[in-house]
Structure 1
């Protein structure tokens, strides 16, 4: 889609929009996680909120892997930015590790049966996930700062 844009401004402006939407998803994910952690005790009536959180989590992780990182890599290649490509190679394995843990959380709580069978462990799982996701957000923020922002300046 973005590859068809005629000018650098159109193309990289489109990447900027993807990143903005993705960061808005991040904010939703964080807020939903905070609301769940604040509850402290969970009952089967909380299952729909937990499942909605799992959906936000998987959506956020997927957009990162299948849209954002891909577009950042294209930018780095188009700008012949060896530093950016090296940074991607360094950080993507770290991000992949957090993805695996996020997906494991999802697998534990994504269905009513899974969720209701493990409600007593949910607070601990949410706390552990929040630590992992905070690390991920730091990696992602570094990618955005060092790749996209640098290229945005070059394309204008």
Structure 2
């Protein structure tokens, strides 16, 4: 996921302050996800569970990222799609509902892990993180398709 993020930054970085900030937020989210999940290069060889404060910090980053997409970046994409024609509008209509599925999963994860974490939840954390990670990876791919549309729309309006 981090490799795909670097490609996204190389492709769309610098096209918009909002997009740059959003991609930086994605980087922070992915780094914290890898740390929390004990994925390389942040492997957890001690076998200890993460601290509740780290889980809550991750949830905050997750909510910031999801919110920025819905309330800032997608508006720019919708405007760019309107300018780019019917094909772009159709793509946005197709992708946004799919992205919303991962939003619901992210909200559920946040609700489960920010209001006090009991032992049972900690035992499910790896499984819940895995499910969330898969959903977020799909989301990033869909968002990248939207960013490509936004980038094409910005190029069209610049010429």
Q: Which residue of 1 aligns with 2:103?
A: 99
1:42 to 30, 40, 49: 49
SS of alignment partner, residue 114 of structure 1: coil
SS of alignment partner, residue 16 of structure 2: helix
* Aligned residues of 1:109 and 1:115 also touching (Cα < 8 A): no
Q: Which residue of 1 aligns with 2:157?
A: 155
Is there any run of 5+ residues in structure 2 with no aligned partner, and where?
1-13, 39-43
2:64 is aligned with 1:59: yes
Q: Which residue of 1 aligns with 2:11?
A: none
1: distance between equivalents of 2:118 and 2:29?
18
2:28 is aligned with 1:28: yes
Q: Which residue of 2 aligns with 1:137?
A: 140
Q: Which residue of 2 aligns with 1:118?
A: 121
Considering Cα pairs closer than 8 Å and 6+ residues apart, tell me whether 1 or 2 has the greater RCO.
1
Runs of 4+ in structure 1 over 3 Å off: 114-117
* Aligned residues of 1:25 and 1:56 also touching (Cα < 8 A): yes
- Aligned pair count? 138
Kindly provide the CA deviation profile for residues 65-115 of structure 1, in whole angstroms up to 9, marking residues without a partner as x: 0111111102222x152111100100000000110011111111013x236
2:92 is aligned with 1:88: yes
* Aligned residues of 2:15 and 2:151 also touching (Cα < 8 A): no
In our comparison, the structure showing a higher alpha carbon Rg is 1
User: 1:16 deviation in Å?
Assistant: 1.3
User: 1:58 deviation in Å?
Assistant: 0.6
User: 1:116 deviation in Å?
Assistant: 5.3
TM-score of the two chains, using structure 1 as the length reference = 0.82
User: 1:150 deviation in Å?
Assistant: 0.9
Higher normalized helix content (fraction of residues):
1
